[in-house]
Structure 1
């Protein structure tokens, strides 16, 4: 069914109307690894792939949550006009709701946002939850954290602030390339996020990363079982 745009962003600024889908079963296999950003980070290091951002920068709003899914990207910039003037004129150029409008089941909204103001609030989070999104990653501020928690919509963000972005932010692109903490992210790249941080995996390398992460996870399970059984430290497996 054709998507009806909300009109908050020019159609030519939406690079892809549909986020590229991961191979069948890939998301579920990543999910089976649990809180695996440490393992995935090690594998990406071994393959020379950049894409790790720690939870000290992108902090989760719901502890104990792990999400995996394709990135639906949004790029925001600061409006040129003074925010008090745009607020008085009721000018709102934020268009993350357009991203929600385009979202497919399991997508993760990833926003290259603006610092010091909110790039996503509670109603936006509730909309994302209703659309079936797994959650959101925001470089920049968010607000209404209690609201997003109440609908079980997890967000990883660099800031939390009550200051609205409605009169301060302009969304300039959806499903184009963005950059967060020096990491380049494209629509459809695989996002793995947990309490430890966020891994952005290039879509073309995701199956390669997954296969090695599964093997590393198996070895760590063996090592933990050996610990539980009382195996001496000197005799523990060392290849995990």
Structure 2
């Protein structure tokens, strides 16, 4: 069941998911350099996206202005993860404190931003997980603008579509195509179970060279 995917992801870690995708031949799905900036909690969920460009490159907005990120928050449901592309090179926030509070109130699991995030102290105070490329105090106003919500985004070189799944922890951020989620989870859970058995063997004082022998080296074949 698709509804069970985030719960299953939260029981494992990003490394197990990365290993599972290697095993299944799903390459280039892991984004590095997106640091855990607020809380040390692992997050996992269905992806809701938005993409930012330089304000000078944005088409004229139709209708009443809407602040970046607000549409994504309204579209998201509890447990979703908002994923933001802000690869303009402009030092301007792609996410901020009021957005954090709005997302927290709605039960959104966290945010992953390939770009700068501001108001990080507020995210820490709210206990809201943020993974991002960098931090800034600079506002988005007049610098960057939202051009697309729930379209494809590129995060750390990974193409991510709305409705895909993400898991993020202190090791990294992994994106799982929606069509592959169950297959990846089955493989990741098997890998995690084997590694748990290895940990038990080490605690039972088996030699580490024996525990991490040929079986471990060939585990992803």
TM-score when scaled to structure 1?
Answer: 0.81
Map residues 107-186 of structure 1 onto 2, 5 A cutoff.
107-113=80-86, 114-115=88-89, 116-186=91-161
On the 8 A contact 2:40/2:129 being kept in 1, the answer is no
Q: CA deviation at 1:98?
A: 1.2
SS at match of 2:122: helix
Map residues 5-84 of structure 1 onto 2, 5 A cutoff.
23-33=2-12, 36-49=13-26, 50-54=28-32, 57-80=33-56
Report Cα offsets for 1:130-165 as digits up to 9, x if no partner: 111000000111111110111111111101010111
Q: How many residues align?
A: 206
On the 8 A contact 1:112/1:140 being kept in 2, the answer is yes
On the 8 A contact 2:31/2:157 being kept in 1, the answer is no
Q: CA deviation at 1:166?
A: 1.8
On the 8 A contact 2:38/2:123 being kept in 1, the answer is no
CA distance in 2, matches of 1:160, 1:223: 39
Q: More deviation in 57-66 or 190-199?
A: 57-66
On the 8 A contact 1:93/1:166 being kept in 2, the answer is no
CA distance in 2, matches of 1:23, 1:108: 15
Q: CA deviation at 1:123?
A: 1.0
Q: CA deviation at 1:94?
A: 3.8
Match for residue 187 of structure 1 among 147, 150, 162: 162
RMSD across aligned positions (CA): 1.7
CA distance in 1, matches of 2:193, 2:99: 38
Q: CA deviation at 1:62?
A: 2.6
CA distance in 2, matches of 1:24, 1:196: 25
* Runs of 4+ residues over 4 Å off in structure 1: none
> Gaps (5+ residues) in structure 1?
1-21, 82-90
CA distance in 2, matches of 1:234, 1:160: 42
Q: Which residue of 2 aligns with 1:203?
A: 178
Given the superposition, is the C-alpha separation of residues 178 and 234 from structure 1 closer, same or farther in structure 2, using an over 3 Å criterion? closer
Q: CA deviation at 1:93?
A: 6.0
Q: More deviation in 60-69 or 178-187?
A: 60-69
CA distance in 2, matches of 1:98, 1:64: 27
TM-score when scaled to structure 2?
Answer: 0.88
